[in-house]
Amino acid sequence: MKRILFFLLLPFLLLGQDDVYAGLGPYIQTQPYKDADPVVLGTPVFFFDNALFYIRWTRVGMYVYGQKGEKQSWGISLTAQPQILGYYETDALTQFGHRKSTPILEGMPEHESGWEAGMAASYIKKDFFAEFLVLQDITNQSNGTKLRLELGQGFHAGQWYFVPSVLAIWLSQPFAQYYYGVDKAYADPALGRTAYRSDAALNLAVQTYIKYDINNHWHLLANLRADRFADTVYASPLVGSNMMFSGMISLLYSFNLFGEEKAALNLPKKR
């Protein structure tokens, strides 16, 4: 075994002869709360790996251990990412436009987005990948835990490349209660907001990355995702739908920062 020097989760999605992808694009996410406006953010889209640290869009990490092989590879990394969920009156820094206040949340204290960090264990075999994450809130918001399992498979179709995957996301009781529960002190029957204690939840999701190569250095990248909430989440008086949808599209420029002889991320050219 040796310390890993490669990009594990999406090497076949983005990386060709270049090892840095940078761009910008809008991100849209519907909110689970009744009559809540969707979040629309302008986000930088950055994929980078220098064989020790990595950035994968909104997620950052550092490799710890693993093994690379010709047919299959696995690895473990420390990782952190933002948790884009919550309810508050103020707009996010990169929010496009102004979101209207949500009636069902009137009078409740702000529950803001935060950051979560933990460990990631990843495995790839050809175009198949699997990843398991253990994440803990580190910003003193929910103080909850999240477990996420993702299984996916990539395939080419001309200039297009698709990476569909399925996900199972377990939320601990403190996490689910923070974002979907209602403490007795904030119950308001006139608004239809009764007191509610959410149990731990298992949400399911499907998503796909879609990449189109304009030329060797310019690329279009999109992400589409649909989450289905567990019954304990949907039963909350705050929640108006059992589904949440999100998507992103961006224009990326790629370049080789390390040089072909040094870049651990370079993949064989397409046949």
176-210 pLDDT per residue, tens? 999 999 999 999 999 999 999 999 999 999 999 99
CA 37/CA 135 separation, integer angstroms = 27
Chain segment 76-96, per-residue pLDDT in tens: 999 999 887 877 554 444 454
Res. 100 pLDDT band, cuts 50 70 90: low
Note the pLDDT of residue 259: 55
What single-letter DSSP state applies at residue 261? T
Res. 264 pLDDT band, cuts 50 70 90: very low
What single-letter DSSP state applies at residue 237? T
- Out of 1.10.3470, 2.40.230, 3.10.590, 3.90.75, which CATH number does the structure's domain 11-255 have? 2.40.230
Q: Letter for the amino acid at 39?
A: V
Helix, strand or coil, per DSSP, at residue 176: helix
Q: Which two tokens stand for residue 258?
A: 């390390």
Q: Letter for the amino acid at 119?
A: M
Chain segment 141-161, per-residue pLDDT in tens: 889 999 999 999 998 888 898
The pLDDT of residue 118 is above 90: yes
Chain segment 25-51, per-residue pLDDT in tens: 998 989 899 988 888 888 888 888 776
pTM for the whole thing? 0.83
211 near 13, Cβ under 8 Å? yes
Question: Which residue shows structure tokens 């080789």?
Answer: 256
- Within 8 A by CB and 6+ apart from 50, the residues are 257, 258
Note the pLDDT of residue 55: 86
CA 85/CA 20 separation, integer angstroms = 28
Note the pLDDT of residue 10: 44
Domain boundaries of the chain, sorted by first residue: 11-255
The pLDDT of residue 257 is above 90: no
CA 44/CA 30 separation, integer angstroms = 19
> How many C-beta neighbours within 10 Å does residue 216 have?
11
Note the pLDDT of residue 162: 92
The pLDDT of residue 6 is above 80: no
